Amino acid sequence: MRLKEQWQKKISLLVVAAFLMVGCQNYNEESESVDVPASTEPKSNENYNADVFNFATNQDIPTLDPHGSAANTSFRVTYMLYDRLVTYEGSSTEPKPMLAKDWDISDDGLEYTFHLVEDAKFHDGTPVTAEAVKYSFTRAIKVEKSAAGIFQKIIDENSFDVIDDHTIKITLKKPFAPFVSTLGTVFANIINPKLEENHGDDLGQSYLAETDMGSGVYVLDSWDRGESLVMKANPDYWGEEATMKTVNIQFVNEPSTARLMLEKGELDLLDNTMISPEVLGNMEGTDGITITESTGYQIDYMPMNIESGALSDVKVRQAIAHSINYDALLESVYLGSAERIGGAVPAGMIGYNPDAKLYDYNLEKAKSLLAEAGHAEGLTLEIAISENNEVRSNTALLLQSDLEKVGVKLDIKTYAWPTFLDLVTSGKHNFALVSWTPDYPDPDYNLWYFGHSSSKGPGFNLAFYENSKVDTLLEEARSNTDEELRISNYEEIQDIMAEEVPYIFVAQPNLQAAGREWVKGYELNPMNTWYVPFNKITKEE
């Protein structure tokens, strides 16, 4: 829907004024504003190196332990340092063989027998065996963090039968339809069992946080926190040789700086979350730059901590949902390159509920609900966002303006990514703005994390939501191979959650990323935009 010109001007003035007040530093504020054409000077290729890939993101990595973090910033690296039984390639959402060259599934859907490649080795030369697979999965469960959310109640340390060095049978406690798909996630990375030598008191989490013990196509070369992380191609990799010999991930705080570095050829590709749709639109047609775009499963959403305080009242949450001008938000922040969504399952994935309740923009209804909840005189809340993300900062400003109209004062607090992640997973927030992309294409992934009570906090149920019926529906769908039953359960869950509003789903945006024209073979994966196939990308002038 197009907004009237008067409203567009009002929003623009609001955003500019608010930026000046809160001191947000976005590209729009720099001397080279988005209203000023990019430099037309010929770009020099003196920075071009066909063997080195320079990638920029604005968020550092909390930990390199694949079993210890749900942070997508970590995934980008650990996907490269480790191998899995299966993997995803390019834009495909179908799992492909990796360490498992093939597998057999019993008729009852309980037994999975995996036949491993025989020449895979960890970075220290130790062979990758069935025992390593068993060790990795049992450790993931024992760590009891993000990975446990997938495998909990499905497998335990007694689920593994090592038949020989390169054959392992995994017996599930009950059928789990997306099991093979889960094995392509970062949580299913296979770790060298020699980590046991450094288990300490935390199963080796402290040790593995800053090193790697994988068999992946890249090895960790160096990591200067807040500056850069460098990976080198594994010279003894068992699989296909990496195209990029060196991957240099640079942490660039300012989107404007990253844009200029890209235009100068100092960078090859920008993290697709770094730059707003507005700036990307202005970059189109810039000499030497290509904007890659595709549909995706990303969801931008607002978790509300419902465990205590005003947000524990469903009427307050419903009032907030009625206070947001969604059309204005989609148009002014996403420039129309996004759609509204009513639940945690994105459009295009099985189980998506197109009829899930969408709250209309109704200020009178919002005020009435707040009065019923005892907040007729107003309310003050805080919204947490991570720094250096234009979409989130712009969204927060518009939410602040919208909520002010119904008497809710919204304070915006900006945090460095590791601090933000700790804040929201430990339940110290009121609101937050977060983006989510699933690691495997099944509604179980999104809804289990968003809705199951066992996923509270570190499991990424950031609303700390608990509903016994939702738990039961999730568990039934997870243990059933009847697709119609599963879809029915997932649609019902979305209806329940839409009524109880633990989350407000802001948008399902199109995926866009800016890179140099010389980058070839880069594809955005709809379910995991953080998976950058550095090992398959090439550079050609």
| Same-domain pairing of 247 and 203 | no
Answer yes or no: is 130 within a domain. Answer: yes
Answer yes or no: is 1 within a domain. Answer: no
Higher pLDDT, 416 or 317: 317
| Same-domain pairing of 271 and 329 | no
Please say whether the beta carbons of 380 and 409 come within 8 A. Answer: yes
Residue after which a domain boundary falls, among 208, 225, 248 = 208
Please say whether the beta carbons of 398 and 329 come within 8 A. Answer: yes
Please say whether the beta carbons of 431 and 383 come within 8 A. Answer: yes
Answer yes or no: is 29 within a domain. Answer: no
Higher pLDDT, 153 or 110: 110
- Please work out, in degrees rounded to the nearest 5, the angle formed at the alpha carbon of residue 356 by the alpha carbons of 148 and 338: 85
Number of domains forming the structure of the chain? 3
Output the domain CATH number for residue 314: 3.10.105.10
| Same-domain pairing of 258 and 318 | no
Answer yes or no: is 6 within a domain. Answer: no
Answer yes or no: is 233 within a domain. Answer: yes
Please say whether the beta carbons of 316 and 306 come within 8 A. Answer: no
Answer yes or no: is 161 within a domain. Answer: yes
pLDDT at 479: 83
| Same-domain pairing of 146 and 252 | no
pLDDT at 177: 85
Number of helical H runs and strand E runs in the chain: 16, 22
- pLDDT tens per residue, range 9-64: 344 434 333 433 333 333 333 333 334 344 444 444 677 999 999 999 988 888 99
Residue 313 has pLDDT above 90, yes or no: yes
Scan for tokens 């047609």, then name that residue: 285
Output the domain CATH number for residue 529: 3.40.190.10
Q: Give the confidence band of 468 by pLDDT, cuts at 50, 70, 90.
A: very high
- pLDDT tens per residue, range 210-267: 999 999 999 999 999 989 999 999 999 999 999 999 999 999 988 889 999 999 999 9
| Same-domain pairing of 251 and 351 | no
What is the arithmetic mean of pLDDT over 526-536? 86
What is the arithmetic mean of pLDDT over 93-113? 95
Cα 363 to Cα 324: distance, rounded to the nearest angstrom:
8
Answer yes or no: is 492 within a domain. Answer: yes
Residue 269 has pLDDT above 90, yes or no: yes
Residue 5 has pLDDT above 80, yes or no: no
Answer yes or no: is 27 within a domain. Answer: no
What is the arithmetic mean of pLDDT over 495-501? 97
Scan for tokens 């009625």, then name that residue: 322
Query: Range of 277's domain?
Result: 37-43+49-53+217-296+511-539
pLDDT at 147: 61
Cα 366 to Cα 406: distance, rounded to the nearest angstrom:
7
| Same-domain pairing of 352 and 279 | no
What does the radius of gyration of the chain's CA atoms come to, in whole angstroms?
A: 23
- pLDDT tens per residue, range 326-353: 999 999 999 888 999 999 999 989 999 9
pLDDT at 146: 66
Cα 385 to Cα 392: distance, rounded to the nearest angstrom:
7
pLDDT at 9: 38
pLDDT at 278: 81
pLDDT at 149: 63
